[in-house]
Structure 1
Amino acid sequence: MRLRSSDVSLRALGNETIVLSLPTSQYFTATGVGSRLLELLGEDVDVDDLVAAVVAEYEIDGDTARQDVEKFIGRLRDAQLLH
């Protein structure tokens, strides 16, 4: 999966990432781990890749990371921002 690059505009402002869905004009914000996940979703990755990155880069256990990543991905899917 990856972000729909043709349908999404991303802007980093300080420690926050602003995501604009071009088809719907909805915007979302992410900070910290969410910003990092958005960066990783610029490439074709799967949930396991994202969880591994979060566990490696942040002080979090695998189960918690998986729950958080799946919740974040679910929000992006609901907004139709992923391929």
Structure 2
Amino acid sequence: MTSIPFTAKMRVSQDVLVQELDGEAVLLHLQTGKYFGLNSMGFRMWQLLVSSHSAEDAYTALAGEYDVDLQTLRHDLDRLLGQLVDERLLDVSR
């Protein structure tokens, strides 16, 4: 899995459609035809990753919203970020 620095800015890849369903989301990459499902926490991570200045800012916002162990949160966000980049659902600008 790709390791992405938390200082990086994310944006949705141009070939991705996002559909929210009851607080969760389905992402479809139009070129590969692959679907990627996000539960409510994963979808909130997605929303903050694509709207924040950096992954670090998304992490800070999530830490303020959820009562969760910060190391676990960082690990989970890092893992999701790597998956989204590997699946070409997010583009990274460093």
Which of the five TM-score ranges fits, normalised by the shorter chain?
0.7 to 0.9
1:32 corresponds in structure 2 to 40
C-alpha change, 1:80 and 1:37, in structure 2 (3 Å) is same
- After TM superposition, where is structure 1 displaced by more than 3 Å over at least 4 residues in a row? none
Structure 2 residue runs of 5 or longer lacking an equivalent are 1-8
Secondary structure at 1:3's aligned position in 2?
A: strand
2:72 corresponds in structure 1 to 64
Alignment of structure 1 residues 68-83 onto 2, 5 Å: 68-83=76-91
Residue identity in the other structure for 1:14: D
Alignment of structure 1 residues 35-50 onto 2, 5 Å: 35-50=43-58
TM-score by length of 1: 0.86
How many residue pairs end up in the alignment?
83
Q: Which has the higher contact order (CA 8 A, sep 6+)?
A: 2
Structure 1 residue runs of 5 or longer lacking an equivalent are none
